[in-house]
Amino acid sequence: MSADTEPREELSTSEGEAVDFGEELLEVEGLTKHFTSEDGLLAGLTLDWDGGVPRPAYDREWVRAVDDVSFSIRKGETLGLVGESGCGKSTLARTILRLLEPTDGRVYFKGEDIASMGSERLRTRRKDMQMIFQDPQSSLNPRMKVGPIVEEPMRAHGMLDAEGREERARELLEKVGLDPQHYNRYPHQFSGGQRQRINLARALSVNPDFIVCDEPTSALDASIQAQVLNTMNELQEEFGLTYLFISHDLSVIRHISDRVAVMYLGHVVEVADKEELFENPKHPYTESLLSAIPVPDPRMAGRRHILEGDVPSPIEPPSGCRFRTRCPELVAPEEFELDAAAWDEVRAFMRAVDRQSFEADEPATIRREHFGGAVPGGRAGEIVEDAISNVLADEWAEATELLRSSFEEASICARELPAYRVDDELGDGEHFVACHLHRDADQVH
């Protein structure tokens, strides 16, 4: 994605070993992971009983957890991946490391495609890519002592002899801020923060280049979290590590990241340098997310716009931009020629009908409350009038469907997948945004 990067061909000819700082260590292209929502061979089998004779039908539902995601990570940097629960960020991380088989797409690590690699090659490559999980308790075997836990990856990759491994384990324990004397203790003798340090030592033991950290501090208290984050920063500097840091916590992301990617419902919607993303967000979802975080300063309280509704199901995600069903800035369909105020009224009315949040009695009342007395002119107005008649006849579902198909689905947001490159004002990198508000900018792909 970066302009000053060498072509990939050159990277792959060097057997994927030498990547300089600031150059792409990992490139993800169109990575996709779909799950069947039920397991088993016959899970998708249903019997259609209509017409007396049962007819078997085979139809599987796919959960589109990660869909066509592309980004890159440069050596030595921390890419923060932020999103709400269920957005697919952990699935993305696991698919990158091929702990899950990708449905489609490529993952180039030092120029080599991990997604299509043979299993033996993959096993040796995994030495360079480690992962740290959220729950420091369940990721440590309670019946193993700390020393052997840290040594295990080295053993698996045939590194050093027993003596050398023990020496290295002790060194690493000290590096991550634990007492090397604790080599013979069990995980339960440590606090949560200390256990996460053990996980760090284990990940570092095989001398990786790249560590995927999946919510590593989310289970920790604030003061302990700060200790662990500082240690992670120091280790990154000392060992030249590259992190993919996943978190739902924007404050942590802002502290630890160099660049940030924002995910929503399986799509990456915005990628930019940290300062650019936090100070100059371009995607309405990023803006909503930023304004939703409570700031630890009462003088900053109350300045926020609240996102309505819930995240839709990843089984049938919305077409086009997946955020469009909740987006406060949905682009008006061109054919209606509505001004901004009229379009706002139409959308507010559409939401109110969908949520059935008002009582339908008099058409005049509805017009007054939702449109200030007069519905918009032209074709748009006719549709609104039809919807009002539906509502008065207690046909809420029909009204919702009519409004949705006429307005929301006619918007460019529903018809085209957005992907644009906008000017980066605060950083010196690139700013990718998947939102049609920026359709004057360069299109990506």
Partner 1 sequence: MSAEPLLEVRDLKTQFFTEEGVVRAVDGISFDVYEGEIVGIVGESGAGKSVAAQSLLRLVESPGEIVAGEVRFRGEPIVEFEEAEEGGALVPTDRMLSDEEMRERIRGREIAIIFQDPMESLNPVYTVGGQLSEFIELNRDLSSAEARELAVETLREVGIPEAENRFDEYPHQFSGGMRQRVLIAMALACEPSLIIADEPTTALDVTVEAQILDLVNDLQERYDTSFIWVTHDMGVVAEISDRVNVMYLGEVVEQAGVDDLFHDSRHPYTEALLSSLPRPDQTVEELNPIEGVMPEAINPPSGCRFHPRCPEAREVCARHAPAPKAVDESESGPHRSACFRNDVFEVGYEESAPLEVEVGAGFSVGETDAAGAEMEGEE
Contact between residue 157 and residue 206 where contact means Cβ atoms under 8 Å apart: yes
Residue 298 binds to partner 1 (criterion: CB under 8 A): yes
Out of 46, 138, 191, 443, point to the residue binding partner 1 (CB under 8 A). Answer: 191
Which tokens sit at 58?
Answer: 């085979």
- Which pair of tokens denotes residue 282? 């371009």
Spatial CA neighbour of 353 closest among 396, 395, 384, 312: 396
* Rounded Cα–Cα distance for residues 200 and 116 (Å): 28
Q: Between residues 12 and 313, which has the closer beta carbon with respect to partner 1?
A: 313
Q: Are 344 and 367 in contact (CB under 8 A)?
A: no
- Candidate segments 41-49, 144-152, 286-294, 370-378, binder of partner 1 by CB under 8 A: 286-294
User: How many residues in the chain?
Assistant: 445
Binding partner 1 (rule: CB under 8 A), the pick from 25, 250, 366, 422 is 250
- Interaction between residue 158 and partner 1 (CB under 8 A): no
Tokens describing residue 378: 């032209």
Name which position in 36, 46, 124, 181 contacts partner 1 (CB under 8 A): 181
User: For partner 1, which residue of 207, 280, 328, 427 counts as binding (CB under 8 A)?
Assistant: 207
Nearer to partner 1, 143 or 299 (CB): 299
Contact range with partner 1 by CB under 8 A, out of 1-9, 131-139, 189-197, 372-380 = 189-197
Q: Tokens representing 377? A: 């002119």
Stretch that binds partner 1, among 34-42, 143-151, 250-258, 382-390 (CB under 8 A): 250-258
Supply the minimum distance, in Å, between the C-beta of residue 39 and partner 1: 19
Token readout for 158 is 């045939």
Among 152, 193, 189, smallest CA distance to 176 is for 193
Q: Is 355 in the site for partner 1 (CB under 8 A)?
A: yes
Specify the residue for token string 């070993």.
Answer: 17
Beta strands at 62-74 and 24-36: parallel, antiparallel or unpaired: antiparallel
Interaction residues for partner 1, span 300-329 (CB under 8 A): 300-302, 304, 306-310
Please pick, from the candidates 43, 156, 293, 374, the single residue that binds partner 1 as defined by CB under 8 A.
293
Closest separation in Å from C-beta 343 to partner 1 = 22
Nearest distance from residue 434's CB to partner 1, in Å? 18
For residue 354, state whether it binds partner 1 (rule: CB under 8 A): yes
Query: Which of 215, 193, 271, 204 lies closest to 238 in space, CA to CA?
Result: 204
Size, binding site for partner 1 by CB under 8 A? 67
Distance from C-alpha of 26 to C-alpha of 53, rounded to nearest angstrom:
55
Contact 411, 330 (CB under 8 A): yes
The pair of structure tokens assigned to 313 is: 């199901």
Question: Is there binding between residue 222 and partner 1 (CB under 8 A)?
Answer: yes
Minimum CB–partner distance for residue 54 and partner 1 (Å): 28
Tokens found for residue 262: 């924002």
> Min. distance of Cβ 84 from partner 1 in angstroms?
4
Instruction: Write b or e for each residue in 386-414: b if 16 or more Cβ atoms lie within 10 A of its Cβ, otherwise e.
Output: ebbebbeeeebebbbebbbebbbbbbbbb
Nearer to partner 1, 103 or 207 (CB): 207
CB of 256 to partner 1, least distance (A): 8
By the rule CB under 8 A, 165 interacts with partner 1: no
Positions touching partner 1 (CB under 8 A) are 17, 84-85, 159, 171-172, 174-179, 181-182, 191, 193-194, 207, 221-227, 229-231, 234-235, 238-239, 248, 250-252, 254-256, 274-275, 278, 288-302, 304, 306-310, 354-357
